[in-house]
Amino acid sequence: NIRKLYKEFRSPIKQASKLLGLTYDELGEKIGCTGSAINNAIVRDKISDWMIKSVELLLENHQLKEQIKRQNTAFKETLKGII
């Protein structure tokens, strides 16, 4: 259904939930609201600015943690080559 795909693509909250592998309840716990509040915001297409900003910060945090993991792995590999 093209309408469903469009709505899903438009929603940064849905995208973040999928990217992070979190349910709305889990995502809500991380940003300080309930899963039903997230679902209602998506269904009504009225996602608050604070909710979007919270999810953006959560995604940024996730990306930075992944970057640190990659750098640690590269550092360990470099040390193996030296030792």
Sign of CA dihedral 58, 53, 31, 37: negative
Other beta carbons within 10 angstroms of residue 3's beta carbon come to: 7
Sign of CA dihedral 71, 73, 76, 78: negative
Q: Which residues contact 41 (CB under 8 A, 6 or more apart)?
A: 13, 47, 48, 51
Provide the percentage of residues in the chain whose pLDDT is more than 90.
Answer: 70
- The confidence score (pLDDT) of residue 31 equals 95
- The confidence score (pLDDT) of residue 51 equals 93
Q: pLDDT below 50 — which residues of the chain? A: none
